[in-house]
Amino acid sequence: MEPYKLTATQALSKFKNGSFTVEEYARSLLSRIDRRDVTVRAWAYLDPEYVIEQAKRFDQVPRHGRGPLHGVGIAVKDVIYTKDMPTQHSSPIYEGDAPNLDAASIITLRHAGALVLGKTRTTEFTSTTLGPKTRNPHDPTRNPGGSSSGSAAAVGDYQAPIGLGTHTGGSTIRPGSYNGIYATKPTWNSISREGQKIYSLILDTLGIFARSIDDLQLLADVFAIEDDLPPDNAFTVKGAKFALLNHRLATVGPGTAAAMETGAKLLRDHGAEVEEIELPSEFDKMPEWHGIVLHSDGRASFLPEYRVAKDKLDSFLVDHVENSGIASLRPKIDDIASKYAAILTPSVVDEAAVGIESTGSPAFNSIWTVS
């Protein structure tokens, strides 16, 4: 298997047994990027010489000094500060801007030994403005999702095994689904957001992309993300009870409907009970509340750019500043969720749509982001 095809966990095993060096691995990733990024366009910034320089340094690290991510390549969304690369937010206001500091998440990853490959494309300031130049790697005519378009597409196209995104309404889960990879939006504030552009102080979360569950667990361990209670190692699907959520928020397309039906059937075939449920009608207001929070927080977040360069700021974000003007349903959803091992809910309305003008509907994401 070519090194670029390996998951993070597999690459770590190869480094450990001496199958290849970090430099050889990095060159394989760069070769993949060179061949494919003319089509996928995932990267906002990438310096191959610097990647190789980092890789050579990793190869000099003795085995006892290697971190849990030693030499593993990672794609970083271009709203997260990296001291040795520009952070441009897909905005003409910050073109070429290179703050000389690392975000808290990047400090953590570097300490764990991650090889930061480069910065990936995003919509302007992670907003729901026009999509970036990134294409879906499985079909370049289709939407890669957003706003974390580049990180998800890079991981989905084997240009990086893991990636960092952000999530304010659906910016991690939706592109994860569209690009056919695993994506996690951790609990709010479980990973520090220090050193990244904030859209909404209340909603923003760092997101994670990978091509295997083991890699998601690896990153969760690096970021010290733990359950409130110890995991039940005796848990089995057989006999477990799952909720299949029937949304009223949007009509799912045939692709999503088929995927949900397949998921429910697989669980039932393995002995689980799957019960269809609907949330109480008061939950229907949550997308509206999400919008209120988003636009209100956006006023403060984008006021500096509005003052300095209003003419370079997308009109959608200008509107946040010029036209700013919850009830909590968490106890109710906690009560509903406590009856089930998990709730099955769509990540997207349907398969990735043709065209890149939009990053897709967050109809099935915002309710879980604001709750």
CA distance 86 to 198: 17
pLDDT in tens, 159-177: 999 999 999 999 999 999 9
Identify the pLDDT of residue 44. 98
* Average model confidence (pLDDT) across the chain: 92
Identify the pLDDT of residue 355. 82
pLDDT in tens, 116-135: 999 999 999 998 767 789 99
Please list, residue by residue across 112-128, b when 16 or more beta carbons sit within 10 angstroms of its beta carbon and e when fewer do: bbbbbbbbbbbbbbbbb
What are the structural domains of the chain?
3-222 (3.90.1300.10)
Question: Which of these, 279, 252, 275, 253, lies nearest to 264 by C-alpha position?
Answer: 275
Q: How many CB atoms lie within 10 A of CB 299?
A: 17
- Answer whether residue 145 shows pLDDT above 90: yes
pTM: 0.91
* Percent with pLDDT over 70 in the chain: 96
Active-site residues, by number, are 77, 147, 171
Question: Which of these, 178, 145, 181, 177, lies nearest to 163 by C-alpha position?
Answer: 181
pLDDT in tens, 40-79: 999 999 999 999 999 999 999 999 999 999 999 999 999 9
- Answer whether residue 202 shows pLDDT above 80: yes
Sort residue 237 into left (φ over 0), alpha (ψ -120 to 50) or beta.
alpha
Identify the pLDDT of residue 325. 54
Identify the pLDDT of residue 295. 83
